[in-house]
Amino acid sequence: MKYFYLLSFALIISCNNNEKEIGEYKAQIAVLETKNKKLNDELKTQNSELEHLEKWVAIQQENDILKQGVKDLEGKIFNHKINEELIGFESNLGYFLPSEILSVLKSIFGEYKVEPDINPFFLKASLSTDDTFFYVVRIEHISSGKKGFIVFKDYAPDRYFIMGAGQPFNGVDEDLSYIGACYIEKASDITVGYEGDSEVHPNTKEVVVLVTKESASAAFYLDEGEYKWKWIGD
């Protein structure tokens, strides 16, 4: 009987210990379930964010395609406008200007446009002492409406020069809307003001003569690496 009581007491203690351990296990399981739920929630959030990111990437890709489409359409519009603006020509500028220059004109389309308000509105001339050819094209700064010219060298059309059209140049106005005509002249056939009252021939092969609407004339050319604007003497 004594052993029976001892065994019963041991069983009671063992059961109490088991219940305590079971309680601890349940508590640990509850903690793990809480952590698991939190991780599942975070995973759902990340999946949702990933879906949003994938949708954003898809939208961005579609937007890039649309931008390229808009750019292509702008190029077509540019070419169409050039065709409409030609004066005295039955074709387009591609027959008169190198493709590299047309590409540059397309790249600045939106800020500047070709302006055929004078005839001719573009010229090809030897504006220096070497064999370089220059292309001078009449343009307008779209936002301001100021007119001027863009000048290209045949060997480096991407390094263009803008005179007027919102750009100041050696005291010359930012707006050359008052220019009513332009043509090419041999430098040996004209004289320009130089160092006060002296008149000299420009140091170049040819000049672009720019005639104002008041009939005053200026010579535009390149001299020692710098573009010059000089009023022509009588």
The answer to which of 59-73, 86-100, 151-165 has the lowest mean pLDDT is 86-100
Question: What CA–CA distance (Å, rounded) separates 192 from 203?
Answer: 10
**Whether the Cβ atoms of residue 151 and residue 134 lie closer than 8 Å to each other:** yes
Give the residue among 106, 101, 212, 112 at the shortest CA–CA distance from 166: 112
Model pLDDT, residue 90: 34
- Can you tell me which residue has the tokens 């308000």? 117
If pLDDT is split at 50, 70 and 90, which confidence band does 183 have? very high
| CA atoms within 13 A of residue 176's CA, in its CB half-sphere | 30
Is 70 exceeded by the pLDDT of residue 12?
no
In this structure, the chain runs to a length of 234
The answer to which of 2-6, 41-45, 114-118, 188-192 has the lowest mean pLDDT is 2-6
Question: What is the phi/psi pair of residue 60, to 5°?
Answer: -65, -40
Is 70 exceeded by the pLDDT of residue 202?
yes
**Whether the Cβ atoms of residue 210 and residue 127 lie closer than 8 Å to each other:** no
The answer to which of 74-83, 121-130, 195-204, 222-231 has the lowest mean pLDDT is 74-83
Question: What is the phi/psi pair of residue 46, to 5°?
Answer: -65, -40
The residue-averaged pLDDT of 121-144 equals: 92
- Can you tell me which residue has the tokens 């999946």? 47
Model pLDDT, residue 146: 94
* Highest-confidence segment of 25-29, 31-35, 163-167: 163-167
Residue type, 47: N
- In three-state secondary structure terms, 180 is strand
Is 50 exceeded by the pLDDT of residue 211?
yes
Is 60 exceeded by the pLDDT of residue 206?
yes
**Whether the Cβ atoms of residue 186 and residue 205 lie closer than 8 Å to each other:** yes
**Whether the Cβ atoms of residue 124 and residue 152 lie closer than 8 Å to each other:** no
Question: What is the phi/psi pair of residue 2, to 5°?
Answer: -60, -40
The answer to which of 33-42, 66-75, 126-135 has the lowest mean pLDDT is 66-75
Model pLDDT, residue 222: 92
- In three-state secondary structure terms, 89 is coil
Is 80 exceeded by the pLDDT of residue 15?
no
The residue-averaged pLDDT of 34-47 equals: 78
Is 50 exceeded by the pLDDT of residue 61?
yes
The residue-averaged pLDDT of 112-123 equals: 87
Q: In what order do the strands lie in the sheet with 217-223?
A: 179-186, 206-212, 217-223, 226-231
- In three-state secondary structure terms, 229 is strand
CA distances from 88 to 72, 118, 152, 221 (A): 27, 11, 22, 26
Model pLDDT, residue 39: 78
Between residues 85 and 54, which one has the greater pLDDT?
54
